[in-house]
């Protein structure tokens, strides 16, 4: 029997069905080792030697794999067919060699681009060795990312308190977002006018034509700059005679695009389905690893991390057969279409993303898939099938028209198209093609050369130029791909990291840099410009590709990089924070010191008048403050462009507390507006609740805020006080150490004892239901467990978020966002929890015994470990 190692249990389950009893398929659950998150894991002074660490869950899985290999005839490493997959196989092999589990047993590496029976059996019949250069490229990339992160981040922490960290690819992606924001800020709108005529043919058919030339001058988009010019031209055209000079009908063809790559799939799923990059990849992973389709488990799509655009000959043959059946022979080209990658640095030797079997129509597969899977499979199938279809045949008609009014003349043009044969559009259209279809819909009536036209109306419309749009996830991925930054497998993780670090936020699917992100980018551009240059990052990616091709030695690349990078870091360490801030004052001037309506110096302090505003650093990050501190206490949050409003709220007197006689003031701090009673360290302060604008705060509201928490009354059953307040998670009631949420801030000040008792009782009942076996509603469903037993879900419990499968509840690691949990992460947590509990929950009455046993075990372990030492 041979042991086969793959990444995920879902993949293992599918492959096990194909291989039969002579094989034991085990999952590594992704990477089994990683560099420890501490300084010294990569050591440049020791020729870039690296320390690898195995965490708890991985240790158990490796123990299982080791035990199985010792009893097996051989080892087959069948991880994914990319750099990361090769690395996982290498890590597993290294651990097994260290444990001396292999001896002289054969080790083979197999790869398959699709998880279908034929693909798996073909791969098993054609094994190879681990690809050394591909592993070297992984090691170089991992070392580079580690060295940049663990060398640059401490510099950020010292020079820019509040900054999280910096990464090799993430920092460049962040720069793209910040550069676009700066471009928008610098943009100056320009007014322009467009003029169109509604004309009628002698056959009473009307159509629209746009002005293209006036008084012998061809007009560009911005040439008509104001209403006066527009009205003058409009008046001339209203008295003009119109005549058709020429009508030209020109047939054109529009060819289909290639099947999806990783980046084009992410872009299309974003624009058409509203999926984030990470959501797209999670859904695609399930489609790749295998779906139960009526008793048969099969991967429905090929491997989804690729920048290749070609399809295997047998796939092309399958697509052509399906085209003939579903669309007809007219839609089938005489010869198969071939595509080549246009992306910079495209290097993956994989197929494009396509269905594993084109005869599995989306309409037939829908019954086996959840909503997201059905949508994504439909998108992939249509794009792949359209790539092998006939081009669309379109007839484009252009009509040139002369307008004459005495000596003055003008030229107008009408354009329309009609689709003569839809071709591949019958299956799929991308955004550009849909825009073209809108134009195609503007079909012109019959117009003959030389005939006169009747004027119906002349319209002059005002427009302004628009700034470039902020990046969406899709457009940022496209731009990164064009520049050669990152790789297919890194895009989703890069965007998620930027959001997790609070460097960018996503609003209406657009990426907006946070003030923290702008600050980090400005710092890196000012002092590490080379390492956030697009060309430099792209050239480093090219070197990594050359390593994977065996053309460069990976340690030579690291030596060249480290020599210059470490010298740059050493130089920055000598800089004073004041020098750093002044450089950032200049770089971030539009953000830090926005122009004022009255034209005064944006850096002058609006409170004291004599001080100069500057960036300042506090424990929790950067803010804007006055140079006359502490005499002048003016501060403003970074990115708050309402400088004048900040000055007003910095010290607005609201009166005095009638009970204490202390002054009550509305202030504005680095964390936002707040009210304060008294002065000094002992002053009582309260932040304004969400939704309360500073300008609406008066003495009454300030007193109400400063009086919190408010006593509502004693509970009739316990006799203990119920209080209402506003906390980190919003308005609440507190009774006997237990909290219950209130719906609004206003409820904090108005809730009475009866409603409070009722709300607390409802909350207690919901907690009791949980203790009695009731389960909180699922926040997210991850699909069926590969071993059966029901669905895996993510839920919010009394003690925090957790993943659930059957009777097993596994708490999420601290800081893990519940909605970002992947199937692989959930399975690992569940497996670890099941290992600890034997897969069953112990009865409540035995909990004390369990604790005692655990203490004894821990004591024995500690004693044994001391003896070993």
> Catalytic site residues?
303
Q: Dihedral of the CA atoms 39, 41, 43, 46 (nearest 10)?
A: 140
Backbone phi, psi, residue 449, to 5°:
-65, 135
Note the residue count of the chain: 869
Token pair of 48, please? Answer: 């870039």
Rounded distance, CA 392 to CA 417, Å?
A: 12
Only one residue has tokens 């020079």, namely: 159
Rounded distance, CA 6 to CA 15, Å?
A: 9
Only one residue has tokens 């329309």, namely: 416
Q: Quick check: 415 and 249 in contact, CB under 8 A? A: no
Rounded distance, CA 556 to CA 47, Å?
A: 10
Rounded distance, CA 604 to CA 344, Å?
A: 48
Q: Quick check: 369 and 378 in contact, CB under 8 A? A: no
547-550, long-range: CB < 8 A, 24+ apart:
547/133, 547/136, 547/137, 547/140, 548/83, 548/133, 548/134, 548/136, 548/137, 548/347, 549/133, 549/347, 550/132, 550/133
Q: Quick check: 780 and 793 in contact, CB under 8 A? A: yes
| 431 closest CA partner among 396, 486, 495, 379 | 379
| 794 closest CA partner among 762, 763, 816, 774 | 816
Rounded distance, CA 491 to CA 667, Å?
A: 42
Rounded distance, CA 184 to CA 201, Å?
A: 45
Peptide bond between residue 539 and the one before it cis (omega within 30 degrees of 0): no
Rounded distance, CA 654 to CA 706, Å?
A: 13
| 669 closest CA partner among 724, 621, 716 | 621
How many helical (H) and strand (E) elements, i.e. helices and strands, does the chain have? 26, 32
SS3 of 377, please? helix
Rounded distance, CA 206 to CA 247, Å?
A: 16
Token pair of 393, please? Answer: 């045949």
Q: Are strands 23-27 and 2-6 parallel, antiparallel or unpaired?
A: parallel
Q: Which residues of 296-335 are buried (b: 16+ CB within 10 A; e: fewer)?
A: ebbbbbbbbbbbbbbbeeebbebbbebbeeebeeebbeee
């Amino acid at each position: 029997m041979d042991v086969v190692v793959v990444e995920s249990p879902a993949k293992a389950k599918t492959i096990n069905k194909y291989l039969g009893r002579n094989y034991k398929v085990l999952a590594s659950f992704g990477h089994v080792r990683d560099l420890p998150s501490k300084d010294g894991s990569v050591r440049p002074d020791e020729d870039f030697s690296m320390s690898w660490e195995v965490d708890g869950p991985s240790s158990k899985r490796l123990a299982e794999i080791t035990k199985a290999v010792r009893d097996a005839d051989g080892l087959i490493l069948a991880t994914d067919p990319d750099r990361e997959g090769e690395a996982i196989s290498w890590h597993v092999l290294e651990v097994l060699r260290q444990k001396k589990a292999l001896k002289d047993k054969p080790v083979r590496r197999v790869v398959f681009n699709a998880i279908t029976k034929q693909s798996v059996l073909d791969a098993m019949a054609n094994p190879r060795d681990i690809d050394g250069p591909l592993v070297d490229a992984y090691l170089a990339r991992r070392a580079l990312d580690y060295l940049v992160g663990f060398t640059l981040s401490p510099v950020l922490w010292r020079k820019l308190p509040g900054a999280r960290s910096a990464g090799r690819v993430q920092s460049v992606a962040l720069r793209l977002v910040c550069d676009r924001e700066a471009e928008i800020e610098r943009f100056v709108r320009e007014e322009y006018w467009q003029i169109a005529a509604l004309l009628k043919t002698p056959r009473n058919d009307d159509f629209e034509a746009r002005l293209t030339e006036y008084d012998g001058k061809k007009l560009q988009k911005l040439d008509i700059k104001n209403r006066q010019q527009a009205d003058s031209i409009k008046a001339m055209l209203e008295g003009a005679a119109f005549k058709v000079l020429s009508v030209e009908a020109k047939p054109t063809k529009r060819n289909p695009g290639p099947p999806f790559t990783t980046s084009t799939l992410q872009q299309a799923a974003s624009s058409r389905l509203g999926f984030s990059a990470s959501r797209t990849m999670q859904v695609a992973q399930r489609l790749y690893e295998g779906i139960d389709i009526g008793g048969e488990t099969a991967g429905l799509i090929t491997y989804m991390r690729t920048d290749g655009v070609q399809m295997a000959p047998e796939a092309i043959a399958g697509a052509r057969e399906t085209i003939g059946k579903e669309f007809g022979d007219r839609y089938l080209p005489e010869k198969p279409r071939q595509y080549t990658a246009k992306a910079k640095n495209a290097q993956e030797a994989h197929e494009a993303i396509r269905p594993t079997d084109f005869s599995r129509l989306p309409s037939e597969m829908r019954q086996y898939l959840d909503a997201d899977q059905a949508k994504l499979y439909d998108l992939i199938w249509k794009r792949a099938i359209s790539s092998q279809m006939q081009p669309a045949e379109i007839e484009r008609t252009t009509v040139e028209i002369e307008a004459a009014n005495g000596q003055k003349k003008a030229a107008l043009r009408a354009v329309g198209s009609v689709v003569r044969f839809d071709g591949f559009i019958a299956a799929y259209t991308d955004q550009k093609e849909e825009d073209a279809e809108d134009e195609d819909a503007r079909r012109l009536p019959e117009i003959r050369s030389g005939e006169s036209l009747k004027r119906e109306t002349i319209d002059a419309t005002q427009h302004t130029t628009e700034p470039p749009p902020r990046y969406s996830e899709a457009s940022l991925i496209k731009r990164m791909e064009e520049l050669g930054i990152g790789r297919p497998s890194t895009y989703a993780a890069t965007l998620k990291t930027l959001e997790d670090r609070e460097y960018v936020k996503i609003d209406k699917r657009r990426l907006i840099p946070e003030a923290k992100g702008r600050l980090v980018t400005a710092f890196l551009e000012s002092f590490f410009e080379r390492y956030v240059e697009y060309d430099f990052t792209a050239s480093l990616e090219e070197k990594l590709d050359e390593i994977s091709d065996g053309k460069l030695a990976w340690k030579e690349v690291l030596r060249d990089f480290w020599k210059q990078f470490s010298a740059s870091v050493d130089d920055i360490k000598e800089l004073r924070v004041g020098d750093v801030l002044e450089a950032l004052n200049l770089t971030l001037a539009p953000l830090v010191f926005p122009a004022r309506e009255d034209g005064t110096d944006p850096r002058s302090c609006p409170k004291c008048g004599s001080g100069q505003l500057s960036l300042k650093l506090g424990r929790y990050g950067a803010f804007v403050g006055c140079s006359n501190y502490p005499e002048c206490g003016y501060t403003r949050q970074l990115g708050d462009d309402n400088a004048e409003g900040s000055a007003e709220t910095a010290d607005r007197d609201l009166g005095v507390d009638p009970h204490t006689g202390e002054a009550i003031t509305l202030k504005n701090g680095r964390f936002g507006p707040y009210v304060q009673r008294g002065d000094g360290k002992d002053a009582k302060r309260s932040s304004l609740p969400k939704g309360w604008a500073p300008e609406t705060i008066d003495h009454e509201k300030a007193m109400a805020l400063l009086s919190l928490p408010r006593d509502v009354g004693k509970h009739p059953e316990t006799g203990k006080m119920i209080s209402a307040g506003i906390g980190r998670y919003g308005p609440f009631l507190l009774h006997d150490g237990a909290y219950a949420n209130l719906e609004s801030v206003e409820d904090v000040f108005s809730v009475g004892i009866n409603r409070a008792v009722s709300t607390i009782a409802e909350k207690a009942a919901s907690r009791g239901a949980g203790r009695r076996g009731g389960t909180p509603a699922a926040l997210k469903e991850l699909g069926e467990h590969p071993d059966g037993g029901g669905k895996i879900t993510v839920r919010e419990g009394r003690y925090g978020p957790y993943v659930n499968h059957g009777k097993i509840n596994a708490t999420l690691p601290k800081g893990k966002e519940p909605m970002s949990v992947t199937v692989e992460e959930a399975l690992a947590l569940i497996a670890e929890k099941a290992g600890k509990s034997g897969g069953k929950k112990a009865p409540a009455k035995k909990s004390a015994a369990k604790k005692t046993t655990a203490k004894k075990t821990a004591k024995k372990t500690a004693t044994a470990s001391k003896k070993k030492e």
